[in-house]
Amino acid sequence: MRIGLANTTITPDRPIFMTGYAARTEPSEGAYADLEASVIVCDDGERRVGIMALDLVGVDEFLLEPIREKAAQLGIPAKAMLVNCSHTHCAPACRFVRGSCRKFDEAYLEKLKETLFMLLERAVDDLQEGSLDYKVSFCSLGINRRRAGAEGRNVGMLPALDKPIDMDVPVLRVLSPAGDVRAILFSYAAHPTTMGGQLIGPDYPGPARDMIREKLPGCLPVFLQGCGGDVKPRNVTPDGTFAVGTIEIVTEIGHELARAVSAAMCGERQQLSGEVSAASELAMLPTQGTPSSEQLAELDRGNQWEQAYAEAVRKVIQEKGGLPDSLPVEVQVLKIGGLHIVALGGEVSCEIGLEIKSKLPEKRVWTLGYSNLLRCYIASLQAHSEGGYEVERSFLYSLYPEPRPLGLKPESVAVLVDKAVELVGSV
């Protein structure tokens, strides 16, 4: 197999409006660390697959479609080009879906697109003989953020030690023929939201990569975000709330993850050999449909974004009769040797990622959220019974190209999981 690598920084060179926290009203005031973009291309002699990792909250059609068109020109079919975002909340606004509450720097977005094109070209030009191996480590840096009260209803984004997290740390090594480690791909399932503020930065994935670089000079570390839609870093106050992290805390958490990656270097690893292949289909997730007049009236009394949502919904009702009954979410599977990478286009609950793996016990399965077109939160069945932000309110802030229903139906979980299991069996 031939593997090509490329990496660059994508840190803005000027103040820019950020995304992740709706309370921000001013542009960035510098950067505490660089944002990165990396590309890995695997070629088995007949087919190619590509993985692009970005320190962004997510991407929409503006970036995804041109990236895949460029990849296709380089021999990587659209279905075989995976774009995963770390989901750091200290990155530039890049998704027009959040246009109701974000300002965009069009010049930065155009430059970013050209940079990513060049990165793809460099990775293909770098294709050289090598090998891959794989092992899963573990880490407990995350904590579920969906605390439930005495009546079983969600009481907010608060630490919930009784709720699940996915502790897996998948580690994929790229080796030269001489056995040197050229790259390490690794992931964890937790929001990179240790800190906020006005500084650009990658949150915990950044110092994790830095520590790997320090321990393995010449190695390219690449972070991929897992299914961590309901998980935050374990930075908790004594009174049981999430703390606002400092750069020092971000570094400490990142180093905890890097040590878990290092642990995967010990002992026997699974050699990945053979062909590469890919599959991609849309899972049509059932939605709650069009909000009622009572719901819209309540939103009229809310904040500016809720009011904007209600106004946009009424416009769609007038023009089209209502909102869609289903939402298309991409499910993609890359098979590299005996490893199946399942990439989901949403902020996926950790329980869903765990369920997909549990249904495929005989397979090596690596689950990723925040991949390709970032559609929406996809909450677990338990979250649907409890309510809360991911289920009831997160859709309010998505008005591009038009508003979405207020949420998904609980049946959406089975639709997504079944599609992922089906595609793993098809490649």
Residue 98: the pLDDT is 47
Residues 406, 296: Cα–Cα separation, whole Å: 10
Q: How far is CA 321 from each of CA 106, 186, 324, rounded to the nearest angstrom?
A: 33, 45, 10
Better-predicted residue by pLDDT, 401 or 112: 112
At 116, phi and psi to the nearest 5? -70, -35
Higher pLDDT, 19 or 161: 161
Structure tokens, 126: 């770098």
pLDDT tens digits along 232-265: 999 999 999 999 999 999 999 999 999 999 999 9
User: Span 386-393, mean pLDDT?
Assistant: 93
Determine contact, residues 376/408, Cβ cutoff 8 Å: yes
> Mean pLDDT throughout 341-365?
98
How high is the pLDDT of residue 403? 86
Give the pairing of strands 81-85 and 48-54: parallel
Q: What is the pLDDT of residues 309-338, one digit of tens each?
A: 999 999 999 999 999 999 999 999 999 999
Task: Report percent pLDDT > 70 for the chain.
Answer: 98
Mean pLDDT, residues 286-311 taken together = 92
Residue 190 exposed, middle or buried by CB count within 10 Å (0-12, 13-18, 19+):
buried
Is the CB of residue 97 less than 8 Å from the CB of residue 400?
A: yes
Read off the DSSP letter of residue 90: S
The encoded tokens of residue 83 equal: 């774009």
pLDDT confidence tier of residue 77, bands split at 50, 70 and 90 = very high
Confidence tier at 400 by pLDDT (50, 70, 90): low
Name the residue among 141, 21, 37, 143 with its Cα closest to residue 86: 37
Concatenating the DSSP letter of every residue in 209-260 gives HHHHHHHSTT-EEEEEE-S-TTEEES-B-TTSSBPPPPHHHHHHHHHHHHHH
pLDDT at 102: 57
Pairing of strands 154-157, 364-368: unpaired
pLDDT at 104 over 90: no
Neighbour tally for 338: CB within 10 Å: 13
What is the arithmetic mean of pLDDT over 29-58? 98
Average pLDDT of the residues of the chain: 95
Supply the pTM of this predicted model: 0.96
**pLDDT confidence band for 345 (50 / 70 / 90):** very high
**Are 1 and 127 within 8 A, CB to CB?**
no
Across 58-73, average pLDDT:
96
Rounded CA-CA distance 188/342 in Å is: 14
Token pair for residue 370? 């925040």
Which residues are bridge partners to 364 per DSSP? 339
Give me the amino acid identity at 378: I
The answer to whether residue 136 scores a pLDDT higher than 60 is yes
- Tell me the pLDDT tens digit for each residue of 159-204: 999 999 999 999 999 999 999 999 999 999 999 999 989 999 999 9
Q: Residues for the chain: how many in total?
A: 427
